[in-house]
A and B are shown apart, each in its own frame.
Chain A
Amino acid sequence: DVVMTQSPLSLPVTLGQPASISCRSSQSLVYSDGNTYLSWFQQRPGQSPRRLINKVSNRDSGVPDRFSGSGSGSDFTLKISRVEAEDVGVYYCMQGTHWPRTFGQGTKVEIK
């Protein structure tokens, strides 16, 4: 199985400051069709997960542009340019290239 490793697992951030989460996969996530199926999800306290980013860098509809995804192969990053109070929650990366699908452990973002 592909192991997804996120870091850090806890991320205290000052409001208005940037934040960055790393996600590394144990195998390349490039699929035979040329796409890289790496998604980022946000889970606010008490809520269902919500997808923010699909295929590495494509922001979902309604997602603020302070969220951005980048990376390639097996090394990916989610960045928040300026953290707002509503960004508190747990963030997960997930690979959709290989079966079984696998998630990272989650990164808890909190306000300092």
Chain B
Amino acid sequence: EVQLVESGGDLVQPGGSLRLSCAASGFTFRTYWMTWVRQAPGKGLEWVASMKQDGSEEYYVGSVRGRFTISRDNAKNSVYLQMNSLRAEDTAVYYCARGGYGYSYWGQGTQVTVSS
């Protein structure tokens, strides 16, 4: 059974940093692109970042480029999202999803709240 379990969400002050983790199981992790998608309170889905199987390619939505970094550890079946210089508008549930062009499996999400 495919499972994606996010962790690391928290309440953080503006300008602060946070690192999200997503632990994958039930599939051959190293053969899939991995993606982060977020959803602000009461809003729709927003794609955040994706990384290729071997880490050689990564893409970001413009609003986070230069502040967020996606990474992965294929030995640990995990993908990460390092978030720096956090802003109030980054407040959202962050989902980890499998795939690069269409997300067949999603985690349960982890809440990130940026507030003073």
A binding-site residues for B, Cβ under 8 Å: 1, 37, 39, 41, 43, 48-51, 54-55, 60, 90, 92, 94, 96-97, 99-106
Contact = CB atoms under 8 A, between A and B. Distances in A.
B45 A94 contact: yes
Interface of B: 35, 37, 44-47, 50, 59-62, 95, 99-104, 106-109
Contact of B59 (A41, A92, A99, A106): A99
A interface majority secondary structure: loop
21 contacts: A37-B101, A37-B102, A41-B45, A41-B103, A48-B106, A49-B103, A49-B106, A50-B106, A54-B102, A54-B104, A92-B45, A94-B102, A96-B100, A100-B59, A100-B60, A100-B62, A101-B35, A101-B50, A101-B101, A102-B47, A103-B46
